[in-house]
Amino acid sequence: MATPTATVLVDPRRTTGVVDHRVYGQFLENMGRAIYGGVFEPGSPLADAHGYRTDVLDAARELAPPVLRWPGGNFASGYHWRDGIGPAEDRPARFDLAWSMLETNRFGTEEFLAYARLLGAPAYLNLNASTGTIDEALEWLAYCNSDLPVPEVALRQSGPHPERHDVPIWGIGNENFGWWQHLHTTAESHAELTREWGKLLRWADNRISLVGVGANDPDWNWTMLNEAGVVLDWLSLHFYWNELSYEGALAGPMASEAEICDTWGLIGAAKRRRKLNHDLRICIDEWGVWPEPYLSMTNQPEVINRRLRAEVGPPVHTEPVPMIEYHFDLKDALAHATWLHVLWRHPDKVSLATQAQMVNVLGPILTTPEGVVRQTTFHPLAVARHFALGTGLDVGALTEAGIDATNAPGGSLSALDAAGTVDPDSGQVHLSLVNRLPDDELLVELDGIGGPAKRVTLGADDPAAANTPEAPDRVVPTEDQIDIDGPLVMPPHSHVTLVFPGSR
């Protein structure tokens, strides 16, 4: 049987737009072991004097997040920022209804913002637009960003960081369309709240940028855009790919790509209808593989009835416990690599994204008492942060080979997914290729580019191979120099990055 073939078409003059570096952001939530036992573990021999795990910090710096989101997520819908301010021993503990955990509030605003500074990542704070009030939101904004002689500023100036924090990005709510949120509501109600909160937040600080809640529902998004688009810089979408099969996991990002394009059409229509002339784009502030069905987070009546009646009163966790932690495998890494392709293909549409989440909870970084594991899903993003350039490249991929995938647009996936970036000034080109064939090599002909290149390959004998505490380096990138003057042989189920030096 002949080896499948593909052709990649590259013209460095054909670009998709400038890639906003904020699409490589990360997300932390007070949930499971993301914070406590993750980034923050006072008393651990691996923690510094402030309680931050230095091994986690080192790994996070390899991902180089240009923005860091907190405190949620679902946790944000019940979070009151004043609980996490002041001496740690004086902070009240609270029962977090979102995740059935006792929240000690030892990790609050100052701890988060200090951590973001250690990473060199501007902060994205998510406001409680459920049980919180606009007054509480304005006071948090003043605490972080104001110099006026008001009580919140005095409170900040009495703490560990008297200077302004100048938090640039603020989100108004989180998934308020879903029953799993505190006080979930209708699109009309939330759009009105977003418009009025956004108006007052901008009156208080016109330097900030605002994110509004979008949904996997065009009716919700149309209402939000029409009624609240005037105050928003981004409409958020959340994408989790929870198909368990090989082809299902790889199809997830492609379904998300189609939804991005659909939502972008709504944004354009709403801007024309409402005569909006400001920059309004899409924010994907939660994304990633979630390798199990999450039917409980749907608005289906039978789910709501069961969770609101038969499952009332779950046990309370008084200590951090593992929550939605997995050993991600190679196929999950291929899905994440493909997602980066989506971002490079659509920089005109998506200009902010944060992976859910950075540590332990669905995270590319997994902690143990002895150290960290860089999961398979860590590597595509780390490679991209090292080699990706500033402008998206319009890459063509032609092949007759493919695999069936019922959840993919059209019911199948091409054998090759390709994308890339370019530096228009130097001519340097970065290509990223995913061979989706589970069992076959792929011969890839590069049309329009060749010669010496750095190659980084992520692969393994088995697409189910994973990195674990016992075998932390089973799936790691390998790097070499090659001279491409013929077809490139891609191993089965692999991700290959190519970096070509500039020619001018």
Residue 487 has pLDDT above 80, yes or no: yes
Strands 25-27 and 396-398, by their bridges, are unpaired
Four-way CATH pick for 20-141+168-198+208-387: 1.20.120.10, 3.40.50.720, 3.40.50.40, 3.20.20.80: 3.20.20.80
Q: How confident is the model at residue 309 (pLDDT cuts 50, 70, 90)?
A: low
Q: Which DSSP string corresponds to 385-422?
A: HHH--SEEE--EEE-S-EEE-TTSGGGEEESEEEEEEE
Chain position carrying tokens 């009105």:
192
Q: How confident is the model at residue 100 (pLDDT cuts 50, 70, 90)?
A: confident
**pLDDT for 241:** 94
3-state secondary structure 28-90: CCCCCCCCECCCECCCCCCECCCCEEHHHHHHHHHHCCCCEEECCCHHHHHCCHHHHCCCHHH
Chain position carrying tokens 């021993």:
89
Dump pLDDT digits (tens) for 247-301: 999 999 999 999 999 999 999 999 999 999 999 999 999 999 998 765 556 666 6
Residue 503 has pLDDT above 70, yes or no: no
Dump pLDDT digits (tens) for 393-452: 999 999 999 999 988 999 999 999 999 999 989 999 999 999 999 999 999 999 999 999
**Class of domain 5-10+391-500 as given by CATH:** mainly beta
Give yes or no for a contact between 133 and 125, defined as CB atoms under 8 angstroms apart.
no
Ramachandran category for residue 348: left, alpha or beta (phi over 0 → left; psi -120 to 50 → alpha): alpha
- Tokens for 429? 């080109």
Residue 232 φ/ψ, nearest 5 degrees:
-100, 150
Residue 218 has pLDDT above 90, yes or no: yes
pTM: 0.96
Residue ranges covered by each domain of the chain = 5-10+391-500, 20-141+168-198+208-387
- Cis amide leading into 347 (omega within 30): no
Q: How confident is the model at residue 193 (pLDDT cuts 50, 70, 90)?
A: very high
% of the chain residues with pLDDT over 90:
90
Report the chain's mean pLDDT, rounded to a whole number. Answer: 95
Residues marked as catalytic = 175, 286
